[in-house]
Amino acid sequence: MSPNATGLPYDRVWNFSAGPSALPVSVLEEVQRDLLNYKGTGMSVMEMSHRSKVYDSIINGAEATLRRVLKVPDNYAIIFMQGGGTGEFAASYLNLFACKSVRDKQRKLGRPLTCDYLVTGSWSKGGLKEVKRLGGTTNVVVDGVKSADSGAVSYSSLAPVSEWNLGKPEETAFVYYCENETIHGVETPSSLVVDAVDPSVPIICDMSSNMLSRPIDVKRFGAIIAGAQKNMGPAGVTLVIVRKDLLEREEPDTEAVRGVPSVLDWQYYASAGSMPHTPPTFAIYVCGLVFKWVEEMGIDALDQLREARAGLVYDMMDKHPDFYRGVVDKQYRSKMNLVFNLPTKELESKFAAEAAERNMVQLKGHRSLGGIRISLYNAMPLEGAQAFVAFMKEFYEANCQ
């Protein structure tokens, strides 16, 4: 293993992709060592039966490690699924409306319960759209912020809680929000939501892009969903942490589950240890290695690292606000996905091109917004942020007017 000009091994680059994202080098090295012959079995994890004792230890070990790292209570199930975050948009709605407590509540009300959505960017908007597509009754708690001048909606901040339109608890099935909007660079503090919502209403939180980056109080959520490809592993597996009472169904449960496809059924997966049929075996194996890496690093240390990385970039932006134009309200700026614009689109293209020449890649903003986006997930060491900030300083000095 020899470092390249960036100080990274194996001729690697500083990968600032929003996902699929960089993985810890030590995890990749372990995967590499075991790729052809996993622990003396004579085969790769990609080749072995998911019904074997060896794979059983892999998936159970991954779950046990994650449960320790996040201090997941015993009354929560941990499920590995497929379908990504978009699949879980539908799964959240379908599973909640199949569970006994929500069906009892709806019968008592005498009409459909509403699904409350905090819309803070593209992904929460996508979740809302999916539930509408499935015929759910929705209530938009907040939808970005409106310009005082034009009335146009932007996803650059969050309205104060006093302006939220939360439904009545007895009329609400669940509250859904995305904690970190990968595209818009808005991060909503979990305490802001869980303190505002009545404890009787389950909160469903999409933590795809900030999972495992800081400690969380799992017991304050009904369910947490997350695609793996940001902070936990390769694309292809989705994590669900769900309170077990939300998996309870009526008996007989034919009517309750009629509209829930097996591939999206949390109870179906939980009752079979995430393996009612072949799971994404290799992706789960890599996730298990990442969970071990997080445990060794310490989640509090990763929280400090995320603050330090983001702080370096935001400090540079704040020193030159007319050049590095931040678009997100400072109190809601994401620590994972940092977005900004430059004075012209030409400068943005030049910035990305020159950064690539310095082995810094995947810096273009999302195609729907443009600009620049740097994603600083767990596997990005502080040196990566330092290298990026040094380039920001150099680029500013060469191009400021």
Three-class SS of the chain: CCECCCCCECCCCEECCCCCCCCCHHHHHHHHHHCCCHHHCCCCCCCCCCCCHHHHHHHHHHHHHHHHHHCCCCCEEEEEECCHHHHHHHHHHHHHCCCHHHHHHHHHHCCCCEEEEEECCHHHHHHHHHHHHCCCEEEEEEECEECCCCCCEECCCCCCHHHCCCCCHHHEEEEEEECEECCCCEECCHHHHHHHCCCCCCEEEECCCCCCCCCCCHHHCCEEEEECCCCCCCCCCEEEEEEHHHHCCCCCCHHHHCCCCHHHCHHHHHCCCCCCCCCCHHHHHHHHHHHHHHHHHCHHHHHHHHHHHHHHHHHHHHHCCCCCEECCCHHHECCCEEEEECCCHHHHHHHHHHHHHCCEECCECCCCCCCEEEECCCCCCHHHHHHHHHHHHHHHHHHCC
Residue in 14, 123, 266, 293 annotated catalytic: 123
Residue in 230, 292, 335, 364 annotated catalytic: 230
Here the CATH number for the domain that contains residue 315 is: 3.90.1150.10
Identify the domain boundary among 241, 260, 295: 295
Rounded mean pLDDT of the chain? 94
Which of these, 23, 27, 62, 21, lies nearest to 281 by C-alpha position?
62
pLDDT at 251 over 80: no
Domain identity same for 130 and 150: yes
Q: Is residue 43 part of a domain?
A: no
pLDDT at 72 over 70: yes
Place of tokens 């309870």: 248
Domain of residue 288, residue span: 53-295
Domain identity same for 307 and 227: no
Q: Is 230 a catalytic residue?
A: yes
pLDDT-based confidence at residue 2 (cuts at 50, 70, 90): very low
Domain identity same for 327 and 205: no
Q: Is residue 48 part of a domain?
A: no
pLDDT, tens only, 130-172: 999 999 999 999 998 876 666 678 899 999 999 999 999 999 9
Identify the domain boundary among 240, 275, 295: 295
**From CA 264, how far away is CA 391, in angstroms rounded?**
45
Q: Is residue 3 part of a domain?
A: no
Calculate what percentage of the chain has a pLDDT beyond 90.
Answer: 89
Q: Is 132 a catalytic residue?
A: no
Q: What is the pLDDT of residue 154?
A: 86
pLDDT at 1 over 50: no
Domain identity same for 231 and 110: yes
pLDDT at 256 over 70: no
Q: What is the pLDDT of residue 151?
A: 66
Question: What average pLDDT does the segment 227-232 reach?
Answer: 94
Domain identity same for 231 and 374: no
Q: Which residues contact 224 (CB under 8 A, 6 or more apart)?
A: 204, 205, 207, 211, 216, 218, 239, 240, 241, 242
Q: What is the pTM of this model?
A: 0.95
Long-range CB contacts (< 8 A, 24+ apart) of 338-341? Answer: 338/185, 338/310, 338/313, 338/314, 338/373, 338/374, 338/375, 338/376, 339/184, 339/185, 339/365, 339/369, 339/371, 339/372, 339/373, 340/371, 340/372, 341/370, 341/371, 341/372
Domain identity same for 185 and 281: yes
Q: Which residues contact 310 (CB under 8 A, 6 or more apart)?
A: 333, 334, 335, 336, 338, 376, 385
Q: Is residue 23 part of a domain?
A: no
pLDDT, tens only, 8-64: 777 899 999 999 999 999 999 999 999 999 999 999 999 999 999 999 999 999 999
Domain identity same for 321 and 264: no
Q: Is residue 7 part of a domain?
A: no
pLDDT, tens only, 85-113: 889 999 999 999 999 999 999 999 999 99
Q: What is the pLDDT of residue 250?
A: 82
Domain identity same for 244 and 365: no
Q: Is 293 a catalytic residue?
A: no
pLDDT at 6 over 80: no
Q: Is residue 352 part of a domain?
A: yes
Residue in 14, 206, 265, 266 annotated catalytic: 206
Please state the domain count of the chain: 2
Domain identity same for 291 and 305: no
Domain identity same for 152 and 279: yes
Q: Is residue 207 part of a domain?
A: yes
Identify the domain boundary among 295, 315, 337: 295
Domain identity same for 138 and 214: yes
Domain identity same for 340 and 257: no
